[in-house]
Structure 1
């Protein structure tokens, strides 16, 4: 397949004038940079790995990662600078919880919360630690009493319409058939209330290219300039270069617990295979299998996303093109996300299903 050609500035600016309220920078200014290369060194406790999570507090970026038998925190004045900043261990698995995966840092009520999954095999559940400081003084791990008490990973907290919500990837039952996305209300940052509700299942053809199991995971919430809620997630197996980012958009005034109020992008919005991309979206030029991203928002607050501008920074993990795709070759990258207007999502494989038009997202390397 012929490699796609990057948009030239004139064409890009013209497209933006129709689709989004602000002009974009030239593609060269938003090309992804692998953090290990930005800082000239690879650090086994940080940038070589998966599942970045970053928030911005004032002028400081705070990143967390599972490493050293626990969780480490890095702080830097720049997003890329998290590669060379000192890693500080803030929590150790002294209770032998098992494999620690994908910590996610959130700020709520002036306090920092790090959510992570821990366990072995089918025992993975979500836990939380908290502190008044981003890099010290964290509490002991507390297991979240998620409704159903099933296998759960990649959980994160956000507030939308005055209500705290928790969204995660999990199993419907006790066997590893597929990973769905679930949502539940929270009465406070560590206390779920009510039931769990499925909002996405990997049932579209483009998210079933790689299976055993089929996967929807790594959900990240963000609010668009119209005030609509989005959950951007990773589809296809993370062990494959078919891994990609896709989007769920909640209809205006919709109920986050009602699956049919969510509309799914009709293909990957950020991926390395043209055949799985949504129409009008191009595959990556420099990396393979981008996924498990983070939006580096002020205070980590989705309600800050429209004021942060039409362009905002992201991080994701991927493998450089030309490098064999494997978990051990994943690297954290910086990138840029852009709100893209007048984007229509349709429910595939549902005859006569209605459509929904609103903001989508484009991701730039």
Structure 2
């Protein structure tokens, strides 16, 4: 008997109007959720014991932007990490002056909280993460691998044409880089340079004997898409030649399921921690009035991450499975 494949339907968001989503499942059994809010003026955290309850859980604002100067505009892409029994939030913020509204003038910052519950306690500003240049920088993530802590971020090299490249460095503590800072990817393929020359929003994943960094590229409208870097797990991650890059986008707009501009993802795990989950944002329509950055309807989607036969993350099949699961 021939098995009939279920039809694709328009994908539906888990949480509306939250871009750059980051979900972390902690050892206390809670999922913690942070993301860019449409107003770009604050950082909030919500938590729940399952993903569905994140939708209705009450966000707690842990930090608000300043009125002027540094940290006063465009609060973007927070990530929440638990390191050495403390909570850290990594985020990007711009500074404003009388003549500058802070767009594309971001730096990267860190907050710290010693409380067991990050929705409580006090958050200390650990300050700016300093890199080789004082230039546009954003979308930092951090991970531990083979006994070392790494930091990956997007930044504008003043000597390279384009908006942002991806860099990696080791950390001496959760807010300080140490040693060499290596560029591991710059926008070079046609799908990475539509509107803007962008590589940003990296997310780390390990499976078997390989490590992966997914990332996003091009402008934040329907041209936004995802690429993938991979390296051997025992390679020197600070050596740019260790990383191999996908020559085509691994996820992009799919009008058949009303998914436009997918990207800026993170990874989490299922409640039983048996499956990896793929978290990303996208819009459900193509045409945008005005600057895409100020369109609030980038929504958070979550689906099980599927894998190719040769052990690589299969983002397209994962999203198609989500579309088929809807009635």
Q: How would you bin the TM-score normalised by the shorter chain?
A: 0.7 to 0.9
1:116 alignment counterpart: 91
Give the drift of 1:284. Answer: 6.4
Cα 1:10–1:222 change in 2 (3 A) is farther
Q: Does 1:140 align with 2:108?
A: no
Say whether the 8 Å CA contact 1:31–1:335 is kept in structure 2. no
Q: Does 1:84 align with 2:67?
A: no
Say whether the 8 Å CA contact 2:209–2:234 is kept in structure 1. no
Match among 193, 207, 215 for residue 198 of structure 2? 215
Say whether the 8 Å CA contact 1:53–1:105 is kept in structure 2. yes
1:18 alignment counterpart: none
Give the drift of 1:263. Answer: 0.7
Q: Does 1:63 align with 2:45?
A: no
* Within-5 A mapping of 1:332-343: 332-342=300-310
Give the drift of 1:171. Answer: 0.5
Give the stretch that moved more between structures: 256-265 or 91-100.
91-100
Give the TM-score normalised by the residue count of structure 1: 0.73
Cα 1:60–1:200 change in 2 (3 A) is same
Distance in 2 between residues matched to 1:34 and 1:121, nearest whole Å: 28
Cα 1:190–1:263 change in 2 (3 A) is same
Match among 18, 22, 27 for residue 53 of structure 1? 22
Give the drift of 1:227. Answer: 3.1
* Within-5 A mapping of 1:252-271: 252-271=233-252
Q: Does 1:296 align with 2:268?
A: yes
Q: 3-state SS of the aligned residue for 1:81?
A: helix
Q: 3-state SS of the aligned residue for 2:296?
A: helix
Distance in 2 between residues matched to 1:179 and 1:257, nearest whole Å: 18
Say whether the 8 Å CA contact 2:227–2:246 is kept in structure 1. yes
Q: Does 1:153 align with 2:134?
A: no
2:97 alignment counterpart: none
1:105 alignment counterpart: 80
Distance in 2 between residues matched to 1:33 and 1:51, nearest whole Å: 17
1:195 alignment counterpart: 180
Give the drift of 1:75. Answer: 0.8
Give the TM-score normalised by the residue count of structure 2: 0.81
2:153 alignment counterpart: 168
Match among 245, 265, 274 for residue 226 of structure 2? 245
Give the drift of 1:338. Answer: 1.7
Q: Does 1:35 align with 2:14?
A: yes
Q: 3-state SS of the aligned residue for 1:178?
A: coil
Q: 3-state SS of the aligned residue for 1:329?
A: coil
Say whether the 8 Å CA contact 1:250–1:261 is kept in structure 2. yes
Distance in 2 between residues matched to 1:295 and 1:359, nearest whole Å: 14
Say whether the 8 Å CA contact 1:270–1:284 is kept in structure 2. no
1:351 alignment counterpart: none
Q: 3-state SS of the aligned residue for 2:109?
A: strand
Say whether the 8 Å CA contact 1:129–1:139 is kept in structure 2. yes
Match among 110, 114, 127 for residue 109 of structure 2? 127
Cα 1:115–1:265 change in 2 (3 A) is same
Distance in 2 between residues matched to 1:191 and 1:10, nearest whole Å: 55
Q: 3-state SS of the aligned residue for 1:203?
A: coil
**Cα deviation code 1:108-140 (max 9, x no counterpart):** 122111000111245311100011332122112
Give the drift of 1:270. Answer: 1.7
Measured on the aligned residues, the alpha-carbon RMSD in Å equals: 2.8
1:359 alignment counterpart: 312
2:99 alignment counterpart: none
1:320 alignment counterpart: 284
Q: 3-state SS of the aligned residue for 2:306?
A: strand
